[in-house]
Amino acid sequence: MPPRLRPRSKSFGESTRAPALLPTLLGKKRPPSPSVSPAKQTDASPATRARKRRAPPSHSATETPRPRSPAQTDFTLDTKRKRGRPPKSRDGTPTTPARALKLPLNILPRPAWHVRPSRHLFIFGNGEMGQFGLGITELGSIPAPTLHSWFEGAIQSGILGDEGAGLEKVVAGGMHTLAIDEEGRVWSWGINDNASLGRPTIDVPDPINPQHAIDPEILETQPMVIDSLIEEEFRAVAVAAGASVSVALGLRGELRVWGSFRSSDGLLGFDGKPGSSKTQFVPLSLPALEGNKFVSVACGTDHIIALTTTGHVYAWGNGQQAQLGRRIIERRKVNGLAPERLALRNIVAVGSGSYHSFAVDKKGVVYAWGLNSCRQTGVRESRGGAEAIVANPTIVDALHPDNLGKGRVVTAISGGEHHSLFLLNDGSVWGCGRSDGFELGLNDDHPAMKKIIDARDPNVDAAKRPDEYVPEPVPIPFPPAPPTDTNVDMDTDDPPLPPYDSSVGSTSPSNPMAQISAGMRHNLAVSRSGQVYGWGYAPKCQLGLGEGVDSSHTPRRLKSAVLEGWKVEYAGAGEQHCVLMATKSA
């Protein structure tokens, strides 16, 4: 079928007013999305438009025996008692031994604190697939952070909760966006060709004129709540998004999943069950995960990694590059769609790149597995790091607490297509993997870059060089913090990145980071003082550094008049668009 044509997009600088709300949304604190039976939205709708998307790498995982999973226990039975009579209660009747509650390794996440002024949404990058959520007339590029006008109006109108309520969470997926408001409702917008929004957008009746359907692009390009989650009283506390798959984590540790997974051959499916649809348009609870309580979840391009309260890890999706950490036979790759537990214990954090995965245990030991064509797992050669695939979870020695020293451990991990970032508890950021597009933000005087430069063949044109990479994690220097916690004069340059100091990596940074997010080849990091930095290769304005800036060799602070007076709490790097959550500075 021919692709659906988009209306003309306004150029940056023209009005970015909020799109007109559907009548069903006006003035309601619980705005319902138009409802329709999931069966009415088929996998191959005539309205489905073509989308440019690279197929996953063709590398196949080495088929190794699947490791046995450890037993999972939530309680320990106290059977110790003195020999002779059984214990008695106060009234003298015999009692059975009591169960001693074993505290979980990981605590269930709670809703984000409702600060005032509330959290607002900023956007930049490319929004041609509606991932900005500004309506059908705002589909172009935004080169610098811009306040999201729709959510600004929603906050002022009290749509997101109590008076002045804003957002709790927001994430940027491949070409869609998810957000949680202060009532725990999930909002979605962006492309829905493969069901990533969790709500139907085709053949949805117009509430004013039921004989006609609402234009699907209207339903895709403006934020709308996922009604089915509201109907089951699901209170979301976290969300994660891949290319076409989405996940919501509930207050009680339950997961709801929707969308679809792709492989190198095209659409792979959702749950792999015979006869089931390859796309899941409304959130679903997966039977294989019942009985578990989850504390965090991470999405790669087409796979999911989820962590339980007991420190176990489940993985499912496309496993062609071993990103699931278990054996997947190529001719039966649909088997990867069933969640299974990995042979890992006492895990406290998980992370994901496009086609590779990570886990951190309670001692701070980092494990990595999956695609390793540019050494993005960071695994040492002696452990198989020279291979294009790391088939099973393998220790990353460079990030071992004994090697980091001074009580430092990895607390968060975010990976791109062929590179990875690691945030330590002292605020330092480390990275490994592909570097020829400035993915790691290393200056030429960095020892890791010097090795790469010295190894280059001067007779080979730069465009024809093989991919360059840093094989093991190294520290990434950041420029000094600006003079104040607020944005300075736009015409004033920030302090430059100083020459490389050999103490970097062994001492705490002067400008510590609080959060990291890796896109395909670009990155964002938020400092503890509320500044946001960007670096890497970003031809779609994903760095937010202004018109015409498509790359940055090293981390640069996003200086925008719009951000002046705001403190950034979170930055999310999607495939082509980026999001920020910020509060007004005191």
How high is the pLDDT of residue 116? 96
User: What is the distance between the alpha carbons of residues 514 and 488, in angstroms, rounded to a whole number?
Assistant: 21
User: What is the distance between the alpha carbons of residues 532 and 513, in angstroms, rounded to a whole number?
Assistant: 9
Residue 224: name the closest of 207, 210, 212 by CA. Answer: 207
- Say whether pLDDT at 159 is over 70: yes
- Say whether pLDDT at 129 is over 80: yes
User: What is the distance between the alpha carbons of residues 383 and 145, in angstroms, rounded to a whole number?
Assistant: 42
pLDDT digits (tens, 9 = 90+) for 425-483: 999 999 999 999 999 999 999 999 999 999 998 888 877 777 899 999 999 999 999 88
User: What is the distance between the alpha carbons of residues 344 and 68, in angstroms, rounded to a whole number?
Assistant: 10
CB atoms inside a 10 Å sphere around CB 25: 19
- Say whether pLDDT at 137 is over 70: yes
- Say whether pLDDT at 134 is over 80: yes
Q: What residue has token string 């002292």?
A: 426
Residue, of 336 and 70, whose pLDDT is higher: 336
pTM for this structure? Answer: 0.85
Mean pLDDT of 73-90: 44
How high is the pLDDT of residue 46? 39
Residues 240, 352: contact at Cβ < 8 Å?
no
Comparing 4-18, 334-348, 558-572, the range with the smallest average pLDDT is 4-18
pLDDT digits (tens, 9 = 90+) for 365-374: 999 999 999 9
Q: Report how far apart, in Å, the C-alpha atoms of 201 and of each of 192, 218, 483 are.
A: 7, 9, 48
> Could you tell me which residues come within 8 angstroms of residue 162 by beta carbon, excluding any fewer than 6 positions away?
114, 182
pLDDT digits (tens, 9 = 90+) for 198-257: 999 999 999 999 999 999 999 999 999 999 999 999 999 999 999 999 999 999 999 999
Pick the CATH number of 113-584 from 3.40.640.10, 2.130.10.30, 2.30.30.90, 3.30.70.270: 2.130.10.30
